[in-house]
Structures are given as C-alpha cells and as structure tokens.
C-alpha cells in the first residue's frame, strides 16, 4: 500500500544508530545487491570451486592413498589417507571460496567499479558494507564446504558424529578468511600487489599439514606452520571429522575468531578512510 504521492515517512533520522556513523544496521541491503549481481558472475569459476577439492580427493586421497596406506590420527588411531586429507581439503575449499570473493571481487569494486563510493553516499555505513560483503563471501565459502562435506559423507570419510560440528567450523574458517581477506585487499593498490595473495595462498595450501602430518617438519618449522591460519583451520576441521576431539581445539576457534574480528575492524576503518575521508 505504498502510495507514491505524499510521503510522510520519516527517515530513521531521529534514532541514533548503534555505532554512530559506522553502521546503519542494513548489511542485508549489501547482500541483496550481491545476490542481484550474481546473474552477471562467471558461473564456471564458481562451480569449479566445488569440484576442485573433489578432484584432489579422488586423485590424492584414493589414488595416492593406495600407496600411502594409513596415517596416525591425533588420538593415535590409524585412519585412511583419504580420511586424513579430506578435512584439509574441506577447510581449504572454505578458504578458497571466501578468499576469492573477498579479495579479487572486492579489489575490483574498490579500485574500478566505485561501487562502495555509491553505497557510502547513502545511509549505509562502512560497517554495513563490510558485514554485507563478508557475509556474501562467507556464504560462498560455506556453500563449497557443504557440498564437499556431503561428498565426504557419501564416501564414508566422516568418521565420527563430531563431523556435524565441522559445518559451523568451516563457516568460521570462511568468515575468518573472508574478513581478513577483505581487510588486506582494501590496502592493495595494484594487480601486482594482489598477486601477492595468490603467492601466499598456494604454499599455505601445500604446507599446512594438508597432505602429511605436522610431525614430518623439524620443530623450528613446525612453529611457523602452526602460526598459519590454514593450519589452524585444518586442525580444527580434522579433529571434528576424524573424531579426535580435545579441549585444545578451542584454541583454533579462538585464533579464527580473532582473525575474523581483526579483519572486520581493518575493513571498516579502511573503507571509512577510502570513501569517507
């Protein structure tokens, strides 16, 4: 019943916003925009993100796994090589989905499309934009992860009921990477700098105890690997899908939560600096 004639609607101007000039409580409008824009996205790239980890699982888990045999899990049990790498691939899928949306897509929007400039000329605040965009990236990372989790279930690689908790865990992983990725991206000025992200992601994927246990590294190197966010993610997810759960996994949760928060703060500050100076 919205007439287009006389409007007496009072814009929400009298009410003070929760975080003042940063947040209008309308991140869903940013998500709505992202959803409407998906029509023009490259679906091949999106869909390939679903299959990539499945191919890794088939070739390495099943293929290479037949040579490797079993691996010792965190709690001393022997598990199949496929069951060992599957959670790592799951965490990586969540990371990749989140990072793709929150880095390259965001970089383009900041530097070329001036999308955020338009958004921030409305009543949206930088935190709305950050939360909206990060949630979208999270959805994408989450979607990849759910698809892969289903595949894992189908081939019997979820070894415990704890695996149910792997779903919120990978969402946290996606959130942490989306949030941090967007924060970092907002500082990037050129394509060359953006390539640094790729330069970091691949080695991190290969080294984060993805395909072999941390114990193969000398102690000094182990510390470095343990500091990597993907290692934290892989360990968290692996504990859950293999059922080797200890209280210690809460450290991983904390690590990822801090990373998500830092990324959010970084992004908000930076958007404000870039578009509301």
Binding site for another protein (CB under 8 A): 2, 4, 7, 11-13, 17, 20-21, 24-26, 29-30, 32-33, 36-37, 40, 113-115, 117-125, 275-277
Do 71 and 238 meet the contact criterion of CB atoms below 8 Å apart? no
Q: How far is the CB of 267 from another protein (least distance, A)?
A: 17
Q: How far apart are CA 210 and CA 233, in angstroms?
A: 10
Q: How far is the CB of 3 from another protein (least distance, A)?
A: 8
Q: Which CB atom, from 119 or from 172, has the smaller least distance to another protein?
A: 119
Q: Which CB atom, from 123 or from 226, has the smaller least distance to another protein?
A: 123
Q: Which CB atom, from 220 or from 277, has the smaller least distance to another protein?
A: 277
Q: How far is the CB of 180 from another protein (least distance, A)?
A: 24
Q: How far is the CB of 185 from another protein (least distance, A)?
A: 18
As given in the structure block, the two tokens for residue 276 are 């509301």
Q: Which CB atom, from 32 or from 199, has the smaller least distance to another protein?
A: 32
Q: How far is the CB of 182 from another protein (least distance, A)?
A: 18
Q: How far is the CB of 112 from another protein (least distance, A)?
A: 10
Q: Which CB atom, from 2 or from 190, has the smaller least distance to another protein?
A: 2
Q: How far is the CB of 41 from another protein (least distance, A)?
A: 8
Task: Using alpha carbons, select from 261, 89, 98 the residue that is nearest to residue 166.
Answer: 89
Q: Which CB atom, from 33 or from 269, has the smaller least distance to another protein?
A: 33
Q: How far is the CB of 33 from another protein (least distance, A)?
A: 5
Could you report how far apart the first and last alpha carbons of the chain are, in Å? 40
Reduced 3-state DSSP string for the chain? CCCCCCCCCCCCCCCCCCCCCCCCCCHHHHHHHHHHHHHHCCHHHHHHHHHHHHHHHHHHHHHHHHHHCEEECCCCCEEEHHHHHHHHHHHHHHHHHHHHHHHHHHHHHHHHHCHHHHHCCCCCCHHHHHHHHHHHHHHHHHHHHHHHHHHHHHCCCCCCHHHHHHHHHHHHHHHHHHHHHHHHHCCCCCHHHHHHHHHHHHHHHHHCCCCCCHHHCCHHHHHHHHHCHHHHHHHHHHHHHHCCCCCCHHHHHHHHHHHHHHHHHHHHHHHHHHHCC
């Amino acid at each position: 019943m919205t007439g287009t004639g006389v409007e007496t609607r009072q814009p929400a101007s009298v009410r003070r916003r929760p975080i003042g000039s940063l947040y209008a409580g309308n991140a869903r409008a940013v998500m709505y925009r992202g959803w409407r824009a998906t029509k023009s996205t490259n679906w091949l790239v999106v869909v390939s993100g679903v299959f990539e980890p499945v191919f890794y699982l088939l070739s390495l888990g099943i293929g290479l796994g037949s040579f490797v045999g079993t691996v010792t899990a965190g709690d001393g049990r022997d598990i199949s090589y496929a069951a060992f790498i599957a959670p790592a691939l799951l965490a990586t899928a969540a990371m990749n989905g989140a990072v793709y949306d929150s880095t390259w897509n965001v970089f383009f929007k900041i530097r070329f499309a001036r999308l955020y400039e338009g958004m921030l000329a409305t009543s949206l605040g930088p935190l709305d934009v950050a939360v909206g965009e990060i949630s979208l990236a999270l959805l994408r990372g989450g979607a990849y992860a759910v698809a892969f989790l289903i595949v894992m279930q189908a081939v019997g690689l979820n070894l415990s009921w704890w695996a149910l908790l792997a779903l919120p865990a990978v969402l946290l992983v996606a959130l942490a990477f989306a949030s941090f990725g967007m924060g970092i991206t907002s500082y990037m000025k050129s394509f060359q700098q953006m390539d640094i992200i790729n330069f970091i992601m691949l080695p991190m994927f290969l080294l984060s105890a993805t395909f072999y246990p941390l114990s193969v590294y000398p102690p000094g190197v182990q510390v470095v690997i343990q500091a990597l966010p993907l290692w934290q993610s892989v360990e968290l997810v692996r504990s859950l899908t293999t059922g080797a759960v200890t209280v210690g996994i809460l450290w991983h949760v904390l690590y990822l939560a801090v990373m998500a928060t830092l990324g959010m703060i970084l992004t908000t500050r930076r958007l404000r600096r870039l578009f509301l100076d």
